[in-house]
Structure 1
Amino acid sequence: MTPITEVEGRRLALSNLDKVLYPATGFTKGEVLHYYATTAGVLLPQLRDRPVSFLRYPDGPDGQVFFTKNVPPGTPDWVTTAEVPRSEGPARMVLVQDLASLMWAANLVTEFHTPQWVIGEPNLADRLVFDLDPGAPATVVECCQVALWLRERLAADGIEAYAKTSGSKGLHLLAGVTPVPSERAVSYAKELAVEAEAALPRLVVHRMTRSLRPGKVFVDWSQNAARKTTATAYTLRVGPAPGVSAPVTWEEIEACRSVRQLTFLAPDMEGRLEEHGDLLAPLLDGDGDGDGNRAGSVP
């Protein structure tokens, strides 16, 4: 029997609560839903007004894993959707604007991925993102060294960077910017990636070519493109254990000497939020939710 629960006046059917989705730790679907319910206060502001791409893994990492960009069949009529432009023609996507919609989406078992623009301005980036992806034997430790260089370089242009783990192997750097055409955001991010490779040639590669990446950190600048998405802060990631794309402090990045220091699982997040609050809250001031003083300008 599928349990029915009520969230903010909306009735939700929640299914398979005992199913293990993370085999290494036995973390169940019910625990996934509990995680999202308890982190909604910090996750929802990151999702707000950004069309969501779902990376679904309903049977865990060993089952089928697939992207869903269009509104899924059976989506309740109270879930907000919006038309977004695509090269092949307009499509409708989900906006996760409230707790009920978040819990409905979480019941699908998904990672949340969002673009660097908000609905209504699909070709204007209000955020910059750098995805720092280590090629073995490099790890997040090397990503931290690259992140510190990029932080200083961005600061030289008046742009303040914030960091989070990818929830997998690497790091993401985010910055709020005065809205700029996505093409300009891409070219600026690529310029910085090229500079990083020139400054740290033994550590950084800016090209996606796999053969160049062992032992180096790929600075992926391409996720600033309007059609691209990045794992949203606080989302769970598919894998053996319930890894979280967790915001981190620059002190933690400076101190990082092992992968374990920057690996955060769902059960870790309650304590981190109590200790640090929302480390990405300043980003929200830079993309329309506040006074805008935090947003830098892409030169």
Structure 2
Amino acid sequence: MPDRMRVEVDGRQLEISNLDKVLYPQAGFTKGEVLDYYTRIAPTLLPYLEGRPLTRTRYPNGVEGNSFFEKNAPAGTPDWVRTVRLPVPGSSKGREQIDFIVVEEIATMVWLANLAALELHTPQWRVDAEGRKLDPDQLVVDLDPGPPAGLPECYEVALIMRERLSTDGLSCCAKTSGKKGMQLVVPLPGDETADELSAYAKSIAEELARAHPKLIVAKMAKQLRPGKVFIDWSQNNAFKTTIAPYSLRAGSVPTVSAPLTWDEVEAGELTAVDLSPSAVLERVESLGDLLQL
């Protein structure tokens, strides 16, 4: 196979390269397989990226090499890729504004995958057609276990959180983080600010930590977390991002941040490794998009 080749994706001309390069050495999972996964999952993934300024984690030399977060559109970004200029207070590079990429077509996903952008992270808000920032359209509760706690404890907390949210008339969907934890996603009408949602999530986390002190912690301090699940309410801060549904994760083997059924949460048996790219593609084919059910 040639090192570089030209392809057409929905009328866009792209150059892809080094498809045989192994990005997950322990699994032998190649860049070509990354491109294949993102191309095939794109119809399901795109609705969760549309309108959301994207932060990528790139692994140009694979998951065992150096990686870096990338918010700004890199040099050489094709002119057909949508970008939006937004303020970035507190930027480590001293920038007041950054041109973010917004993924709204399969060609952009393929282009990013070719750059070894394995992980895709999004905020809880979107921009409108003119690039103006909107209020959040979802609340995200991140469940982060402190070892020796793991996904089984997260499943237990997810069920507690679902019941508590329901008392406020809110429904939520569950997904794994693709690593050790999981998230609950609550769709919203978009009429509350990030500060209001963060305050609400914090109050619920503190309430549940008081009710279940042996299982749940609501403070970020590492020394409080061993054997417990930290409910990270801060994910609703306007400048925080969360791993997108169906995004790959960078670990020893390729895993996916995958939506779950509540029956699966109650059974508490699935592990991150069970939710490989091929398994998730099969799940979408047989179960559909569980975040939409």
What TM-score, normalized by structure 1, do the two folds share?
0.91
Is 1:141 the counterpart of 2:149? The answer is no
Task: Tell me, in whole angstroms, the C-alpha distance in 2 between the residues paired with 1:257 and 1:214.
Answer: 21
3-state DSSP of counterpart to 2:8: strand
Unaligned segments of structure 1, at least 5 residues: 283-299
Q: Kindly provide the CA deviation profile for residues 161-220 of structure 1, in whole angstroms up to 9, marking residues without a partner as x.
A: 001000011111001112111000100011111111112110111111111111111111
Quote the offset at 1:122 in angstroms: 3.0
1:248 aligns with 2:260: yes
Q: Which residue is equivalent to 1:205?
A: 217
Aligned to 2:37, the other structure's residue is in SS state helix
Following superposition, the deviation at residue 90 of structure 1 comes to 2.5
Checking the alignment, whether the CA contact within 8 Å between 2:22 and 2:62 is kept in structure 1 is yes
Two-structure CA RMSD over aligned residues (Å): 1.4
Does 157-166 or 88-97 show the bigger shift? 88-97
1:60 aligns with 2:62: yes
| Paired residue type of 1:117 | W
Q: Which amino acid letter does the alignment assign opposite residue 33 of structure 1?
A: L
Deviation at 1:84, TM superposition (A): 1.4
Determine the structure 1 residue equivalent to 2:87. Answer: 85
Deviations for 1:204-252, whole angstroms, at most 9, x for unmatched residues? 1111111111111111110101100000000000111111000000000
Deviation at 1:108, TM superposition (A): 1.3
Kindly provide the amino acid, as one letter, of the partner of residue 127 in structure 2: I
Secondary structure of the structure 1 residue equivalent to 2:77: coil
2:178 matched to 1:170?
A: no
Alignment of 1:21-60 (within 5 A): 21-60=23-62
- Aligned AA (2:24): Y
Whole-angstrom distance in 1 between the partners of 2:159 and 2:15: 45
* Count of equivalent residues: 281
Deviation at 1:259, TM superposition (A): 3.4
One-letter amino acid matched to 1:73: A
| Structure 1 stretch displaced more, 211-220 or 80-89 | 80-89
Q: Find the partner of 1:280 among 251, 268, 291.
A: 291
What is the aligned-residue identity percentage? Answer: 48
CA-to-partner distance for each residue in 1:88-143, whole Å, 9 max, x for gaps? 52221000000111111111112100000001453611100011111111010000
Query: Structure 1 counterpart of 2:206, which letter?
Result: V
2:201 aligned to 189, 199, 202, which one? Answer: 189
1:264 pairs with 2:271: no
Provide the C-alpha distance between the structure 1 equivalents of 2:167 and 2:281, rounded to a whole number of angstroms: 34
Helix, strand or coil: the match of 2:248?
Answer: coil
Counterpart position of 1:115? 123
Separation in 1 of the partners of 2:110 and 2:77? 12
Structure 1 window deviating more from structure 2 (45-54 vs 16-25): it is 16-25
CA gap of 1:258–1:246, structure 2 versus 1, over 3 A, is: closer
TM-score by structure 2 length?
Answer: 0.93
Aligned equivalents of 1:258, 1:251: Cα separation in 2: 11
Q: Whole-Å Cα distance in 1 between the matches of residues 208 and 10 of structure 2?
A: 47
Tell me how far apart the structure 2 counterparts of residues 205 and 123 of structure 1 sit (CA, whole Å): 31
1:65 partner amino acid: S
Which residue of structure 1 aligns with residue 6 of structure 2?
Answer: 4
1:149-168, Cα deviation, whole Å (9 max, x unpaired): 11011111111100100001
Where 2:189 maps in the other structure, the secondary structure is strand
What amino acid maps onto 1:45 in structure 2? P
Question: Where does the alignment leave 5 or more consecutive residues of structure 2 unmatched?
Answer: 91-95
Measured against aligned partners, the alpha-carbon deviations of 1:66-94 in whole angstroms (never above 9, x if no partner) come to 10011111110000001112225222100
Q: Distance in 2 between matches of 1:242 and 1:74?
A: 28
* CA gap 1:28/1:210 in 2 versus in 1, 3 angstroms: same
Aligned partner of 1:104 among 104, 111, 136 = 111
CA distance in 2, matches of 1:90, 1:65: 23
Distance in 2, matches of 1:264 and 1:127, equals 24
